[in-house]
Amino acid sequence: MNIVCAFSEGPGIGLGHRRRVEGLARQLVALGLSVDARVLGDEAVTGEIVLVDSYRVRADDHTRVRGDLVIAIDDLERDLAVDLVIDPDPGADARVHSAATAVVAGAPYALVDAGLRSLPRAPIGAKVTRVLVTTGGTDSEGIGARIAVELAGAMTAVRVRHVVGPWGRGADDARVESVAAPDGLGPEIAAADIVVTAGGVSMLEACCLARPVVAFSIAAGQDRSMSGAAHVGAVVVADVASAAGLTEGLAHDQAGRRRLSQAAQTLVDGQGSARVAAIIAGMARHGVHAR
């Protein structure tokens, strides 16, 4: 059985939708399903089973999405009338998706690559020597670059590495190491003593890798995810102005970093994509339809 997975990406969108779909697609294939993953364009997406991950296209818009079984990955609480909504953020509440036939919500369904947990990770040591700053693939305003430069100035003995996405702006400062990671940030995150990140997919990946995280919001939907993670002690919530200062303070708090690490790996166990794939496979086998 074939599943068409359509996702948005590009300037102003970033790569998070792609990362979520790619991790889920690997689990679907492992269960014997065929997956056609594609970037969502202007044409309608059709198929027997269709999954959509997009903030710009509603999965219940029948002019754009048509399938016998329609699935949406949605963390904007848009109450989509589809067969299944996957709301993968910490803090998500399934009750807001009342129009969907079935809903799975919250950190147990965080869509991160299951292979992350196998990566070797930096220990939570007394000294912080490496900080990773990432603000997604489309930070054209240079928010991450500014934070990285501030950190490099304040933490002179630390390697500050800044991820520059394909539609982002790098730091014009020799003290900041630029990172390009077209195949994913897993190894970079795993090697970092602290991850400073916007509250999207990279935050969930950092939690899965048990990294101490300082998170801030720069896009719609990120506040809820950060609040949910902070509620269980898995991240330090900042804003753009306070992120560098909170990171510097965390660098001097080994016990705090250990607590964050333990809470983070409990929150995001890396099995969310496998859980969602099993649900989709069961619905596909039994022909469950909403409408």
Homologous superfamily, domain 115-267 = Glycogen Phosphorylase B; (3.40.50.2000)
Amino acid at site 13:
I
pLDDT tens, 263-282?
Answer: 999 999 999 999 999 999 99
pLDDT at 291 over 50: no
pLDDT of residue 285: 86
What is this structure's pTM?
0.94
Contact 271, 109 (CB under 8 A): no
pLDDT tens, 135-160?
Answer: 988 898 999 999 999 999 999 999 99
pLDDT at 183 over 90: no
Overall average pLDDT of the 185-213 stretch: 97
Structural domain spans, the chain: 2-112+271-286, 115-267
Which residue's entry shows tokens 């496998």? 274
Amino acid at site 251:
A
Phi, psi of 176 (to 5 degrees): -100, 130
Per-residue CA distances from 127 to 19, 41, 176 (Å): 31, 47, 19
Is 2-112+271-286 assigned to CATH 3.40.190.10? no
Q: What is the mean pLDDT of the chain?
A: 95
pLDDT of residue 287: 67
Write out the two tokens for 181: 């990671």
pLDDT of residue 272: 97
Overall average pLDDT of the 48-54 stretch: 97
